[in-house]
Structure formats: C-alpha cells, structure tokens
Structure 1
Amino acid sequence: MLKELLSISEMAKLRRITAETLRHYDRIGLFKPAYIDPNTGYRFYSIYQYEVLGTIKELRQIGMNLEEIKFFLTERNTEKSMRILEKKHKILQRNIKELIDLEKSINEKIENFHKVSKEGLFPGIKIYTFEDRLFITKNTKISNDLELSYGVIEIENMMQEKAPLIASDRLGVLIEKEDLLSENYSSPTTLVARTNYIKDTPEKYVIRVPKGKFVCLRHYGEIWDRRESLTQLMTFIKKHDYKLTGNALQIVQVDISITDEPNEAMFEIQIPIVKH
C-alpha cells in the first residue's frame, strides 16, 4: 500500500544513503523531516520530499559542500540557480583538466619506468635522437647534496605540472660544453628539469634543447660519480670524429622517489653531437 510518510530507514533506502546522513542533514538544518513523533522522537519524511533529497545528492556529486547546498536551496530562483551552477561548472572543468594532466604525467612515468626496468644499465654507449625539449632552471650552480636538495625544492615550486618529478626522467643537471672539453668533470653544474609548460615562466629560467643526436651512457651511483662515464663518452666522441654541439645533460632515471637502495640510483648522460 502506498503511503505518504516514510520512516528514516525507508527514505534512506529509497535514496541509497544512510540513515545517519539524514540525521546529520536534520541537525544542520539542511533537510528536515516532515514530521517528528512527539512521543518517540522518530523522524518521518514525506514522499514529496524525495526530489529535494535527490537534488541534495546530485549537488554533492558535482562537488558542492553542505553549506553551498544549503545556500542553493534557500529562496531559489532561476537566475540564482544558474549563477551557482555556472560557477560550479567552471570549477569542475578546471578539476577535469588537472586530472587529465595528472593522468598524462602518470602514464609518462609508467612508460619511462617500464623502459628503464627493461633496459637497465645497457652495455656500452648508444646514440639516440631526441625531439625538442624544454627545461626550466633557477640558474643556480650546485656541487654537493645539500645544494642539490635545496635546488630541487626551487625547481618543484617552479613547475606547473602535477607530481612532475616522482618516477620520471625529468630532473637532471647541465654540464657545460667548456667543462667537457677541458675535462673539468667535477665543476659545479646547473640543476634543470624538463617541462611541458612554460607559461608565465620568465625566459631567463627557460632552456631550449633542440632536436638532435645525443651520445648517451647510463651509470649507477651518485650524481657526482660521473668522471668515468664522461671519460668514456668523450673518448668515444673523439674516436668516431664527432663534434659537440652544446651542453650535456645528466638526467635522473632512477632515484630515491622509487627506491631506497643507493646502488639502484641511475643516471643517463646525454651529449649532443654532429659529425665533423
């Protein structure tokens, strides 16, 4: 038999929410029962309140908090409702964009991690072609772990992506061409991070690395343990009659963001070259 008044459990079941949620809505004055039994204190809701409760549920689904919903339901009219929904829609659009960017970043990390795990420390020196890349930097020279730690904080604060550095091949240092030619391999280097977004970033903090061929070698160990690898690379370049075309990059492939084993830390040195 159809009835107008429903118990709190019946209304909760109809709307697939909990009875405690309805009690909370009552306590804060958002959704009051149609009738409260004076003897038992039991709450009863009218079937005609079903749609109002549905509106509350849907507004929660689009991200409104309870105070916003309370305001929305007070003295409603078409113009007021439209303004509130348009504002919430803009927020949702922004959140969706952030989630899309985050998904893209995570997918990139997974692909890179699979690549690194599969290849590991590949034997010998390889030549790869990289597309145009953008890096940001604070142009601060670093030469030890303390300076590196503070430098990473600066770089992270500059980046506009979500979770840009964890499990990625973005963070690294720039090794000056002059230092390579003079074999000054332990000189201070510039911390950089590859990025997809430079909007609002001052030009002085942007480094553009053009598309080209790079002689590459991966090595395990600390970021400063590069002398042997650089010696191998420079010997290879001279032996095969290549010419350096710019500064080298030493890019993190595996770091403490994905392992706490120091012997698993791995970097790739990339030196841009052309044939003489």
Structure 2
Amino acid sequence: MRKLYSIGEVAKLNNVSIETLRYYDRIGLFTPASVDPTTHYRYYHEKQFFYLDIIKYLKYIDTPLYQIKEIMKKDVAEMLPFFEEQTEKIDKEIAQLRHAQKILDHRKNQIKEQNMLVKQPRGKVYSRFVEGEEQLHLFTDDLTPYGNPDVYMRDLALLLETKESVVDNFYGCVYELKNYQATEEIIYSSIYTSLLKDTPLPEQPTKKTSKKYMPEGQYICICFKWSEACYLAYYKKLYDYIKQHHISTEGMVFEFSLPNRYFSYEEDDFITELRIKMKEEN
C-alpha cells in the first residue's frame, strides 16, 4: 500500500507552504490523493512529489499558474513548443538586461565626467583627454544657443526608441570655430546624443540624422555655468586663447551640457563645456 503524507509533511518535504498547497488544490492545479470525509484533512502520496517539482520548476521560470495548469494536461510532445517559446523569451530578457547594464555603465561614466567638470576652474581654458564615442547627430540650420534643442531631441529619441533602445538624456551641439561677434551668429550644424557601442542603427538612419564617431584625443576646453547672457564671452575667451597660442584644431566646437540637478520644477542649472579637438603633431 502506497504511503500517504499529510499536507504539513508534504509542505516540509517539498519546501512549499501549507497555504500554497491549499491554494493549488482550490484552483485544481495540484490536488491531494485523498481527503478525509470527516476531518477534511488532505493526504498526498509520494508519486505526486514529482509533479509538484514540475510546478515549482515552471514557477521558477516565471510561468503563470493558469498556464502551468494547461501545461500539466499536455503530453511530452506538446510541451516542446512551450519550452522553445520560453527559451526565446529568456534569451530576449537576457539581451535586455545586458543592454540595461551597458546603459548603466555608460551613465556612470557620464556622472564621473560630470564630477570631473565640476572640479574644473570655471571660465578658464584648459586641455584634457576626451574618450571617443559613437554619436547620433540631427542636422540643424536654424538653431542657436538662444533656441531650445530639447524639441529637436525628440526626433533622435523617437528613432532610438523604435529600435528598442533609449535616448541618452545628456546631449550636445556642434558648430564651426569662427570669430563670432554675437551669440545669434552661432548656428548649430547639428545636435547629438551619445550612443552605446553596437547600437543597432544604419549608417544613415534618415536624411536628417547620421551616426558619427567623435574621436578620442586631446581637446582644448572651457567650462562654465550655462547662461545665454555670458555664453559668447566664454566662447570668445576660448577662441582668443586658441589664436594667441597658435593652437591647431580640427575646427568644430562641441558644446556639451550636463545638469547639476534633476528637479524639473526648478530653474535650469547646467554646467557647459565647450571642447575643440586639437590636431595631433606628426
């Protein structure tokens, strides 16, 4: 005669709670072998432990209980497509987690760079090494430092989000190195956001956008608290320094701004760095 186990014994032997076993019984997922008609105590036989292990396994891979109930009714051949589907699902989740980890590492590096910029003397020219990075550029022809690049960034955000990625909320602008006499003379040729390595985008995503690489190297820079009123003065200080010291550059200004705080209801507070790549000596 097959030995029967009480619900408490089954719970202890199989590392599940009594409440869980009662719930499984109520929904018809895992019912006892017999129930005492007088006491209503539930009893299970040892052969059922095998099926309880299957339920626990399916729960471990996040299978809903209603789906487990259907699976338990299938034969082995019918279960194969389910497990293949679960494998694909897990592979996708692993890929998403790896991508999320890349985003996190990228953001940590940006915060480190921001902390470095905070320590730089405000309004003084300096040179520093800048790591190279992939960038997604949106071409512009009417945007100035007086404009609002956030609206333009929506085009980049929509493009990245359709690729199951996310836009970097730190962005920059690019324009030519010239002897500007007024801030409104500065016209951004593009705005950009940094991309994670291997972001799945075509080389020319649209007519208005382009994937580019900002090369690593030594850059001549100046940083300051963002201000429309003082922007040109800081730019001219950098421009004059380059001319006075006969520094050869690659001719494009990268404006990069980072927020000092993240409260949307407070006044904007950004630290901005203007950086221009210096030509390498042969």
- The answer as to 2:5 corresponding to 1:5 is yes
Q: Assess, with a 3 A threshold, how the Cα gap between structure 1 residues 222 and 51 changes in structure 2: closer, same or farther.
A: farther
TM-score (normalised: structure 1):
0.78
TM-score (normalised: structure 2):
0.76
Aligned amino acid, residue 97 of structure 2: L
2:105 pairs, out of 93, 104, 107, with: 107
Cα distance between partner residues in 2 of 1:75 and 1:143: 65
For 1:129-208, list aligned pairs within 5 A: 129-140=129-140, 142=143, 147-159=148-160, 160=163, 165=168, 171-177=170-176, 180-186=178-184, 187=186, 189=188, 190-196=190-196, 197-201=198-202, 203=204, 204=207, 205-208=209-212
Cα distance between partner residues in 2 of 1:84 and 1:237: 65
2:96 pairs, out of 95, 98, 107, with: 98
Q: More displaced, 188-197 or 110-119?
A: 110-119
Q: Tell me if structure 2 keeps the 8 A contact 1:98–1:162.
A: no
Query: Match for residue 228 of structure 1?
Result: 233
Deviations 1:68-101 (CA, angstroms, capped at 9, x unpaired): 3233222221x33333222211221221122122
In terms of fraction of residues, the more helix-rich structure is 1
Q: Secondary structure at the match of 1:109?
A: helix
Cα distance between partner residues in 1 of 2:96 and 2:66: 25
- The answer as to 2:111 corresponding to 1:117 is no
RMSD of aligned alpha carbons: 3.4
Deviations 1:28-79 (CA, angstroms, capped at 9, x unpaired): 33222323333444433333221211111122222322233233222221x3
Q: More displaced, 180-189 or 95-104?
A: 180-189
> How far off its partner does 1:122 sit?
0.5
> How far off its partner does 1:235 sit?
1.4
Cα distance between partner residues in 2 of 1:183 and 1:209: 30
Query: Match for residue 272 of structure 1?
Result: 277
Q: Assess, with a 3 A threshold, how the Cα gap between structure 1 residues 118 and 208 changes in structure 2: closer, same or farther.
A: closer
Query: Match for residue 46 of structure 2?
Result: 47
Q: Assess, with a 3 A threshold, how the Cα gap between structure 1 residues 228 and 194 changes in structure 2: closer, same or farther.
A: same
Cα distance between partner residues in 1 of 2:11 and 2:145: 61
> How far off its partner does 1:17 sit?
2.9
| Structure 1 unmatched ranges of 5 or more | none
| Structure 2 unmatched ranges of 5 or more | none
Query: Match for residue 220 of structure 2?
Result: 215
For 1:248-263, list aligned pairs within 5 A: 248-257=253-262
Question: How many correspondences in the alignment?
Answer: 268
Q: Secondary structure at the match of 1:17?
A: coil
Query: Match for residue 18 of structure 2?
Result: 19
Q: Assess, with a 3 A threshold, how the Cα gap between structure 1 residues 119 and 177 changes in structure 2: closer, same or farther.
A: closer
Q: More displaced, 126-135 or 231-240?
A: 126-135
Aligned amino acid, residue 192 of structure 1: Y
- The answer as to 2:252 corresponding to 1:247 is yes
Instruction: Tell me the percent identity.
Output: 19
Q: Tell me if structure 1 keeps the 8 A contact 2:259–2:271.
A: yes
Cα distance between partner residues in 2 of 1:224 and 1:88: 58
Q: Tell me if structure 2 keeps the 8 A contact 1:102–1:163.
A: no
Q: Tell me if structure 2 keeps the 8 A contact 1:217–1:269.
A: yes
Deviations 1:169-196 (CA, angstroms, capped at 9, x unpaired): xx22323206x44345344544310102
Q: Secondary structure at the match of 1:176?
A: strand
Deviations 1:128-176 (CA, angstroms, capped at 9, x unpaired): 344543221443555589944433443333335766536xxxx223232
> How far off its partner does 1:218 sit?
2.2
Cα distance between partner residues in 1 of 2:213 and 2:14: 57
